[in-house]
Amino acid sequence: MKRFLLLFGLMLTAPALFAQAVLVYDENTDDAVAQTACTNLGYTCTVATSGDFVTQLTGGTWDLVVMDLPSTDPAGDWQTPLAAYITGGGKAIQTGWNGSDFTALADVFEVTLSGNHDANPCYQWGGSTLFSTPNAVPTTMAVVDDSWGTNGFYLTIQPTGSGIAAAGFTASPADGQSASVIGNGGRTIFNGLLFDDFGPADADTSGKDDIVEYVENQMSLLIEGSEPPEPGAGATFLVTKDYTDGNIAPVDVTLTCNNGLPLEQTFTISPGNPVNFVLTDFTEGLADCTVTETGSPDGYTPTYNSGLGLSGDNCTFTDITAAAFSCEIVNFANAATFIVNKVWEVSEEGGGDDVVRVADITITCDAEIEGGYTDDDDTSERELPEALPPGYGDWMLDGTIVGNGSLEATVDTSMGPVMCEAEETSEQSGVESTDDCGPREIDAGETSECTITNTVFFEGIPSLNQYGLAIMALLMLGMGMVGFRRLV
């Protein structure tokens, strides 16, 4: 029922000389956080409600527009005039409860909106001044009053803009988890949270609610300026990520510079979710930066392309000026290795040394084998092993192992994990073969081994040792003497 409660707007004025004109939208908030913050800063604050917001916005001249919007939207088409105000150079702070209601504003705020959340804590990211100027704000703000149900949505910085993720819903920067994004060179802030959820609370015992201080800092930043650069005043580095085999695992990328601010910054990216680093306060022509990746999955080799060719170490940028740069990171899947071991269990006694210890082995995989051949190239009319699942068995590698030894296959994994198996194609009488070389999946960069064991069973004439021969001789002598006596 709360979303349908209506509060009448009121005009707040401040006595400050040359006060900034701020339009605050507040239809039915619980705590009037934006109004309080505006008054505390000494700005001239005009409060608009659902019925008159568009009229107020288009009919006045505003230094800042703040949308404190936990529920009821302004009446009519309000997003179009707000977007026009921002595109025309205006400054705005937006908050809201349901991401699907604000898709028309996403581009102009340089963000992408994703799913809604239910009252997540807010964490400082990257040392943003939103948590320090003019108020010191706790680097973690916990939810105090979850009374609105749907409490906001997750944000992602658009790769082509100048957005900076100043706060998030995770303790450290993570893709798709931004809570407050500064965009348009420091003219806009989009919040994926509700101000009402975080108050009243004064965790740092400053005498002022933490969320009020946070909103004061946002207003002060946009009106006074300082954190992000105006368009063209800084250098941007768009970093994209991809894998050759379709993997989507996230990695951390770090921009490290010898000049400017910040000197080092790290974000998490994944395929389709790039990051745009911003470097400010640097001396043009003297700044050098590198982009490196950490935390990539095992079995992959990263390559970097900064537009100057491929590198295996990083993207390197030298003598930087106020311009836009890019770094493409592609992780190539390392080849998989399949090793087939051959073991003979043969007794040298009793004729075992007569066995020819030679085995013909065939390895079969569903991806290209280095030095192998496809079934179309095979002229031996040998059928593929039936044990492989349908669709496997495109590549084979033959080898002959003499005695105990092994046959190794190097298999391409650029299309994903591979399936391989092995079999012995030669047979000998009296030799029993066992193995564990059935089909198995091998990931990029991994090694899988199996063993084929041949056991020889010799069925020749048994032999006697010296004692057995002596006994045999005595028996034969005894039988001879018995026969002799009978003849006599």
**pLDDT < 70 stretches in the chain:** 1-19, 127, 158-162, 225-233, 309, 347-354, 375-393, 457-470, 472-473, 477-488
pLDDT of 84 reads: 93
Cα–Cα distance for residue pair 223/231, rounded to 1 Å: 16
Q: CA triplet 146, 151, 156: central angle to 5 degrees?
A: 145
User: Are the C-beta atoms of 361 and 423 separated by less than 8 Å?
Assistant: yes
Q: How does pLDDT run across 263-272, given as a tens digit for each residue? A: 888 888 888 7
- How crowded is the C-beta side of 369, counted as CA atoms within 13 Å? 28
Among 287, 187, 290, residue whose Cα is nearest residue 237? 290
Options 2.60.40.1140, 3.30.70.890, 1.10.8.50, 3.40.50.620; CATH of 235-332? 2.60.40.1140
pLDDT, residue 435, reads 92
Class of domain 2-224: alpha beta
Q: Are 23 and 46 in contact (CB under 8 A)?
A: yes
Report the predicted TM-score, pTM, of the whole model to 2 decimal places. 0.47
CATH 2.60.40 assigned to 336-456:
yes
pLDDT at 392: 53
Q: Hey, CA dihedral for 429, 434, 440, 442, is it positive or negative?
A: negative
DSSP for 208-264, please give it.
Answer: S-HHHHHHHHHHHHHHH--SSPPTTSSEEEEEEEEETT-----EEEEEEESSSB-SE
Return the pLDDT at 481: 60
DSSP 321-344: -SSEEEEEEEEEEPPEEEEEEEEE
**Prior bond of 385 cis (ω within 30°):** no
Equal fold, 2-224 vs 235-332: no
Structural domain spans, the chain: 2-224, 235-332, 336-456
Give the pLDDT of residue 377.
53
Dihedral of alpha carbons 195, 197, 199, 205, sign? negative
How does strand 324-333 pair with strand 287-294?
unpaired
